[in-house]
Amino acid sequence: MNVPMLNLPAQHAPFQAELEAAVQAVLRGGQFILGKEVAAAEEEIAAYCGARYGIGVASGTDALVLSLRALGIGRGDEVITSTFTYVATAQAITSAGAKPVFVDIDPLTYNLDPAQVEAAITPRTAAFIPVHLFGQCADMEPLLALAQTHGLAVIEDAAQAIGARYRGRGAGTMGQTGCLSFYPTKNLGGAGDGGMILTNDPALAEKLRLLRLHGRTGDYYYELDGHNSRLDEIQAAILRVKLKRLATWTAQRQRHAALYDELLADLPEVHTPPVAPGNEHVYHLYSIRAEGRDVLREWLRERGIATAVYYPLPLHLQPIYESLGQPPGSLPVAEAVCRDIVSLPVAPELGEESIRTVAAAVREFYHRP
Ligand SMILES: Cc1ncc(COP(=O)(O)O)c(C=O)c1O
Q: pLDDT digit string (tens) for 266-283?
A: 999 999 999 999 999 999
Question: Judging by DSSP bridges, how do beta strands 53-57 and 195-199 pair with one another?
Answer: antiparallel
Decide if pLDDT at 210 tops 90. yes
Decide if pLDDT at 141 tops 90. yes
Nearest CA-CA partner of 26 in 14, 15, 40? 40
Decide if pLDDT at 1 tops 90. no
Mean pLDDT confidence for 281-300: 98
User: CATH number of the domain that 217 lies in?
Assistant: 3.40.640.10
Residue 3 lies in a domain: no
Residue 2 lies in a domain: no
Rounded to the nearest whole angstrom, what is the distance from the C-alpha of residue 135 to the centroid of ligand 1?
12
pLDDT attached to residue 170:
98
Decide if pLDDT at 109 tops 90. yes
* Mean pLDDT computed over every residue of the chain: 97
Domain co-membership, 268 together with 324: yes
pLDDT attached to residue 184:
98
Whether the bond into 311 is cis, omega within 30 of 0: yes
User: CATH number of the domain that 250 lies in?
Assistant: 3.90.1150.10
Atom of ligand 1 nearest to the CA of 132: 1
Please enumerate in sequence order all residues whose Cβ is within 8 A of that of 156, keeping only pairs 6 or more positions apart, or say none: 129, 130, 132, 138, 140, 171, 172, 174, 175, 177, 178, 179
Atom of ligand 1 nearest to the CA of 194: 10
Give residue-wise pLDDT tens across range 155-194: 999 999 999 999 999 999 999 999 999 999 999 999 999 9
What is the separation, in whole angstroms, between the first and last Cα of the chain?
18
pLDDT attached to residue 253:
98
Domain co-membership, 128 together with 220: yes
pTM: 0.98
Please enumerate in sequence order all residues whose Cβ is within 8 A of that of 285, keeping only pairs 6 or more positions apart, or say none: 134, 135, 160, 308, 310, 343, 346
Confidence of residue 289 (pLDDT cuts 50, 70, 90): very high
Domain limits for position 341:
245-365
Domain co-membership, 95 together with 17: yes
Site residues for ligand 1, CB cut-off 6 Å: 59-61, 85-86, 88-89, 131, 157, 159-160, 181, 183, 193, 195
Q: How far is CA 245 from CA 146, 240, 348, 349, in A?
A: 37, 9, 11, 12
Decide if pLDDT at 41 tops 90. yes
pLDDT attached to residue 152:
98
The residue whose CA is least distant from atom 12 of ligand 1 is 159
Q: Which residue from 45, 65, 160, 177 has its CB within 8 A of the most atoms of ligand 1, so it is best to mutate? A: 160
Mean pLDDT confidence for 72-97: 98
Domain co-membership, 91 together with 197: yes
Residue 199 lies in a domain: yes
Residue 341 lies in a domain: yes
Q: Is 21 helix (H, G, I), strand (E, B) or coil?
A: helix
Of 200, 217, 240, the position where a domain reaches its end is 240
Q: How far is CA 317 from CA 109, 115, 309, 330, in A?
A: 21, 21, 16, 10
Percentage of the chain beyond pLDDT 70 is: 100
pLDDT attached to residue 361:
98
Rounded to the nearest whole angstrom, what is the distance from the C-alpha of residue 29 to the centroid of ligand 1?
30
Atom of ligand 1 nearest to the CA of 59: 10
Domain co-membership, 257 together with 234: no
Please enumerate in sequence order all residues whose Cβ is within 8 A of that of 201, keeping only pairs 6 or more positions apart, or say none: 53, 176
Confidence of residue 369 (pLDDT cuts 50, 70, 90): confident
Domain co-membership, 218 together with 264: no
Rounded to the nearest whole angstrom, what is the distance from the C-alpha of residue 181 to the centroid of ligand 1?
6
Total domains in the chain come to 2
Decide if pLDDT at 260 tops 90. yes
Chain centroid offset of residue 255 CA: 20
Rounded to the nearest whole angstrom, what is the distance from the C-alpha of residue 86 to the centroid of ligand 1?
7
Decide if pLDDT at 347 tops 90. yes
Mean pLDDT confidence for 344-351: 98
